[in-house]
Chains A and B, each alone.
Chain A
């Protein structure tokens, strides 16, 4: 058996219990394989628990362990970093917890906070930096202004008050609550300094952010927003949003 074939066979035994052993792999060899298999499962479930501690707390240890094991069977790790072992887990939870849609929403927040924690360091523009960047703008430059956002920024639509649940779980309150929102909202995650943070966004701001992060110029994004909320409201929302993004450290570059 070639080395590659031998390693594929060994890996199959690590991933799956009960396979027939090749010739020469005796009972003692099998006992050793059991140790590797157990270590594999323990290490990866521990990594999942470390990445999704609040999700584990919310659904209970037994349910979480079962879901994590399901994830590792259907999506065994293929890359060198344990940081990505939870990739796709929120989507799986959406299938497993059909009657509890708050569960995948909470898991999405944990996963996105986890990615933000190790996202690239890029210094944001503060108010002075932004003013300097637009100092040379003429009246015609503003509509064509495009923004580059911090690499940690991500968002998703949620239907439950996930921030309230997050804080309830963090404080280990006896019965954390997760009420449904009156209407779906956008939950944004990014990193301030070294600390990942999140916030529910106003729908108009969320719409503007989504279009501008996609590369749309400020003028076009405002026009698209005006179609939704009217020109006056759009102008007010856009001005307020821009100021808030600068305060929050979301903007890292300005292009005319």
Chain B
């Protein structure tokens, strides 16, 4: 299976309120990340927009519904529609999440937490292998944020992710905000988490905002907070060449605000590269 070549670009998500910015303007970013499911349709405007954006920018496809953690097998209809989109868009890479979203009867349309037990690891790895085979490419999987931790966990989340990478050959999309949120919610040390991962397999980093409280909630509805910026600054020197992307899914501001945040990421990443070289 082909490898995913490192790409050190800085990108933003393609959101409806910014369609005209991307289509009419000259947005100075290195890549665009599109939510796969929004474009896994038969035709019409969404697919037309993404196709035209693709003419201007490299596109990464980021999914939320593959559900590799479901005890049931993968949805073949989902896989075939994703493959069709991949063939059309020729993305930089395709990513999804370490989570489950559905049972045989219902779909939550949310990223639900897994127990970190051997049975779940076998299910996840089997599903990832099947997906990578069907799509003809290795994928990236994102570390989740979570609000429940199962009492019978047999391993830490980072150990689960490491073993998943080892068994399947997949890559990682490291969400810095998710580490921050889950560390707060479950009481682990952020750097234990980071250092426990196979960092050479990280190809992309996500930055996002969350809702503060007793339990932090990964809402993507506000700017990246200082704590997440600080963690990004600490993690980047440990990584090789990776792409960075700002995620915003609610209370979406003008594109200029997100470009300002992306500039901040760029500056931190540059400093990290200098520290790594020194």
- Chain A residues within CB distance 8 Å of chain B: 2-4, 6-8, 10-11, 14-15, 24-26, 29, 31-33, 35-36, 39-40, 43-44, 47, 76-83, 85, 116-122, 151, 191, 194
C-alpha gap A29/B149 in the complex (Å): 7
Contact assessment for A7 and B71 in the assembled complex, using a CB-CB cutoff below 8 Å: yes
Task: Give, as a whole number of angstroms, the nearest-CB distance from A152 to chain B.
Answer: 8
Give the chain B neighbours of A14 by CB distance below 8 A.
108, 110, 112
Give the chain B neighbours of A194 by CB distance below 8 A.
44-45, 48
Give the chain B neighbours of A44 by CB distance below 8 A.
109
Contact assessment for A35 and B217 in the assembled complex, using a CB-CB cutoff below 8 Å: yes
- One of A78, A82, A117 near B44 (C-beta < 8 A): A117
C-alpha gap A42/B71 in the complex (Å): 26
Interface membership of chain B positions 26-48, coded 1 if the CB is closer than 8 angstroms to chain A and 0 otherwise:
00000000000100111111111
- One of A11, A25, A31, A83 near B41 (C-beta < 8 A): A83
Contact assessment for B108 and A36 in the assembled complex, using a CB-CB cutoff below 8 Å: yes
C-alpha gap A29/B75 in the complex (Å): 29
* SS of A interface (majority): helix
Contact assessment for B148 and A33 in the assembled complex, using a CB-CB cutoff below 8 Å: yes
Contact assessment for A80 and B37 in the assembled complex, using a CB-CB cutoff below 8 Å: yes
Contact assessment for B109 and A82 in the assembled complex, using a CB-CB cutoff below 8 Å: yes
Those 8 A-B pairs whose CB atoms lie nearest each other, nearest first: A121-B43, A32-B147, A32-B148, A4-B71, A120-B42, A118-B41, A24-B151, A80-B65
- Closest A residue, CB atoms, query B82: A80
Give the chain A neighbours of B42 by CB distance below 8 A.
118-121, 151
Contact assessment for A11 and B110 in the assembled complex, using a CB-CB cutoff below 8 Å: no
- One of B78, B103, B113 near A11 (C-beta < 8 A): B103
Contact assessment for B107 and A2 in the assembled complex, using a CB-CB cutoff below 8 Å: no
Contact assessment for B43 and A25 in the assembled complex, using a CB-CB cutoff below 8 Å: no
Task: Give, as a whole number of angstroms, the nearest-CB distance from A77 to chain B.
Answer: 5
- Chain B residues within CB distance 8 Å of chain A: 37, 40-48, 65, 67, 70-72, 75, 77-78, 100-103, 105-110, 112-113, 115, 117, 119-120, 123, 146-152, 185, 214-215, 217
Contact assessment for A118 and B102 in the assembled complex, using a CB-CB cutoff below 8 Å: no
Task: Give, as a whole number of angstroms, the nearest-CB distance from B234 to chain A.
Answer: 27
Contact assessment for A43 and B44 in the assembled complex, using a CB-CB cutoff below 8 Å: no
Task: Give, as a whole number of angstroms, the nearest-CB distance from A96 to chain B.
Answer: 23
Give the chain B neighbours of A77 by CB distance below 8 A.
106-107, 109
C-alpha gap A43/B110 in the complex (Å): 9
- Closest A residue, CB atoms, query B217: A35
C-alpha gap A43/B249 in the complex (Å): 12
C-alpha gap A68/B152 in the complex (Å): 37
C-alpha gap A79/B42 in the complex (Å): 16
C-alpha gap A174/B215 in the complex (Å): 43
Task: Give, as a whole number of angstroms, the nearest-CB distance from B50 to chain A.
Answer: 12
Contact assessment for A40 and B43 in the assembled complex, using a CB-CB cutoff below 8 Å: no
Task: Give, as a whole number of angstroms, the nearest-CB distance from A189 to chain B.
Answer: 13
C-alpha gap A119/B46 in the complex (Å): 11
Given contacts A7-B70, A77-B106, contact A2 B151 (CB under 8 A): no
C-alpha gap A66/B102 in the complex (Å): 25
C-alpha gap A151/B44 in the complex (Å): 11
5 A-B residue contacts at CB 8 Å?
Answer: A4-B103, A39-B217, A77-B107, A85-B109, A117-B44
C-alpha gap A253/B147 in the complex (Å): 54
Contact assessment for B107 and A78 in the assembled complex, using a CB-CB cutoff below 8 Å: yes
- Closest A residue, CB atoms, query B117: A3
C-alpha gap A118/B148 in the complex (Å): 36
Give the chain B neighbours of A121 by CB distance below 8 A.
42-44, 47-48
Other A-B pairs beyond A8-B105, A11-B106, 13, CB < 8 Å: A11-B103, A11-B108, A25-B151, A32-B185, A35-B147, A36-B110, A39-B110, A47-B109, A77-B109, A79-B107, A117-B45, A118-B44, A151-B42
